[in-house]
Amino acid sequence: MVSIYDFKFKNRKGEEVSFGDFKGKVVLIVNTATGCGFTPQYEGLEKLYGEYHDKGFEILDFPCNQFGHQAPGTEDEIHEFCTAKYKTTFDQLAKVEVNGDEADPLWVFLKSEISEDTEPKGMKNKLAMKAISKMPGVSKEKGFIKWNFTKFLVDRDGKVVGRFGPTDVPAEFEEKIKELI
């Protein structure tokens, strides 16, 4: 049986990292983009990281240029943007694709564990997701990532316990993180 701890990925310098390095930690995995309307979520992500990192919480930030080409820079340019504009202290990793034939194996696994985002809350968020679903290149297939800032929450035992959509801001699932810490 495949475990999340079997996966490896690249950091922004191109070095291989094992998910096994995060055993025993609560991990939030996010596909991000610096030119997206959801990019201000970096503020909330950094707030969570600052609050819970010392208690065993990690954020794995995977830039993804697959949706509207909204992460066009290099990994270092993306990192500089995030640290300068949003004062992030968690690192950004190497860019990945999350859908399609070139999808990163970790993301294929995550989607197989929880195949749908949470239902958007509020009319504004529902309308935003409806508009996104009509954009060119957005997959209608079950399980596919719909847009940037889809988030997966992994507990200390390596079980994927939550999938949050692009409109779910970090404060909305902070309680779930607190429960897992």
Domains of the chain: 4-180 (3.40.30.10)
List helix spans (H) across 33-121.
Answer: 41-52, 75-85, 105-113
CA distance 122 to 75: 34
137: number of Cβ within 10 Å: 10
Radius of gyration of the chain from Cα atoms?
Answer: 15
Task: Tell me the per-residue pLDDT of 28-83, one tens digit each, with 9 for 90 and over.
Answer: 999 999 999 899 999 999 999 999 999 999 999 999 999 988 898 899 999 999 99
List helix spans (H) across the chain.
Answer: 41-52, 75-85, 105-113, 122-133, 174-180
CB contact at 8 A, 153 and 180: yes
Residue of 27, 33, 36, 48 marked active site: 36
Find the largest Cα–Cα distance for the chain.
Answer: 42
36 counts as catalytic: yes
Task: Tell me the per-residue pLDDT of 78-110, one tens digit each, with 9 for 90 and over.
Answer: 999 999 999 999 989 999 999 999 999 999 999
CA distance 105 to 177: 25
For residue 28, the cross-strand partners are 59, 153
Whether pTM exceeds 0.95: no
